[in-house]
Amino acid sequence: MQVQKSSYLLPNCIVGLFAIVVLLAGIIASAGCTGQAQEAKAAPTSSSSLGSGDKIEVYHFHPIRQCSSCTAVGNYAEETVKTYFADEVASGKIVFAHINAELAENQALVEKYEVTGSSLWIGVYDASGFHKEENLNVWYKINNKQEYMDYLKGVLEKRLAGDFT
């Protein structure tokens, strides 16, 4: 008796293999360069009664080894702050720093901001307290430096005015 090979077996194997490759690619992409999954954080509570930001911290948290996207997020943020907010930096109203999240001396900041991987965080101190937010939108703008800088400039101007929307 001769076994007849099914003509649909090969295409089904290819479809299954393709599904596995797509699944693995999704898992790898979601892990980022730290090997930890990024979790979206909610923006700070919005309230029209909040006053202007008394002090703003802009922190680029990163691991020891960074991918090119992580480096771009930090470098573009630093350039934005230095270019558009030089007076605020000089007065101490805005602080920018690259923070290596893997170093023991930075653990207090890592815990304060609840950092889970490479990220850009904005912390605002005002009359009602401390408000922190992870800005995920910058990751979608790293392929266009001017768009990135314009976007972050707008966000920081809002925070300086006490607008948390």
**C-beta of residue 73 within 8 angstroms of C-beta of residue 60:** yes
Amino acid at 97: A
Rounded CA-CA distance 148/142 in Å is: 6
Q: Residue 90: which CATH number?
A: 3.40.30.10
User: Global pTM?
Assistant: 0.70
Residue 19: inside a domain: yes
Contact residues for 23 (Cβ-Cβ < 8 A; gap 6+): none
Q: How many domains does the chain have?
A: 2
pLDDT values of the chain reduced to their tens digit, one per residue, 165 residues: 555 554 544 455 454 545 554 444 443 333 445 433 333 333 343 333 334 668 999 999 999 999 999 999 999 999 999 999 999 999 999 999 999 999 999 999 999 999 999 999 999 998 889 999 999 999 999 999 999 999 999 999 999 998 888
Residue 50: inside a domain: no
Q: Which domain holds residue 20?
A: 7-35
Rounded CA-CA distance 29/112 in Å is: 26
